[in-house]
Amino acid sequence: MKKAFTMIELVFIITIIGILSGVAIMKMNFGRTDAEIQNAKVQLASVKSAIMVYYNDKLLFGKPKYPETLDKDGKLFGSILPMGGIKPSTGKNGWKIIKPNEEYTFTVSGRTVKFKYKKADGKLTCEPNHDTTLCSQLE
């Protein structure tokens, strides 16, 4: 007599594999979202730092002021970041320019927050748009 798997055993194995792969895919998706948030957090810190460096440079010459323009050549924060800025996203996730040199949005996994730049005090602040958690994760 040959030993083989019964149909019920095969169905159970396929079900278990399906459940495990579903959990793994969800975990990978959460990991990707976390990585995108951390990347945006680093980018935001770099932008805020670059604004302060600009101000301090002007202060050394006796004319303290914050940058009038942040964007350059269609890139976000291109006039202040040393590597040429951040390319605006064309997809669902990432940074987008709403109002050049004033308003930007960051979107990840369907969650969006707006950032406003105030030239008077050099602040780039997050406005949650009903998502205070994303703002707190980015700052």
Could you tell me if 102 and 117 are in contact, meaning their C-beta atoms sit under 8 angstroms apart? Answer: yes
Residue-wise pLDDT for 15-44, tens only, equals: 889 888 888 777 666 677 888 889 899 999
Using 50, 70 and 90 to split pLDDT, how confident is the model at 124?
Answer: very high
In this prediction, residue 117 has a pLDDT band, given cuts at 50, 70 and 90, of very high
d(CA 83, CA 86): 9
Q: Does 2 fall in a domain? A: no
- Between 2 and 55, the more confident residue is 55
Q: What is the DSSP letter of 62?
A: T
Q: Does residue 38 fall inside a structural domain?
A: yes
C-beta separation of 89 from 83 below 8 A: no
pLDDT digits (tens, 9 = 90+) for 51-75: 999 999 999 999 999 999 999 888 8
Query: Does residue 67 sit within a domain?
Result: yes
- Intra-chain end-to-end CA distance of the chain, in Å: 68
Residue 50 falls inside a structural domain: yes
pLDDT attached to residue 53 = 92
Q: Number of folded domains in the chain? A: 1
Q: Which residues, at least 6 apart from 36, have a Cβ–Cβ distance to it below 8 Å?
A: 93, 94, 108, 109
Domain that holds residue 90: 7-138
Decide if 121 is inside a domain. Answer: yes
The mean predicted confidence, pLDDT, of the chain is 86
**Is 106 among the domain residues?**
yes
Please tell me the predicted confidence (pLDDT) of residue 2: 67
Question: Is 33 exposed, middle or buried (CB count within 10 Å of its CB: 0-12, 13-18, 19+)?
Answer: middle
Residue 96 clears pLDDT 80, i.e. is over it: yes
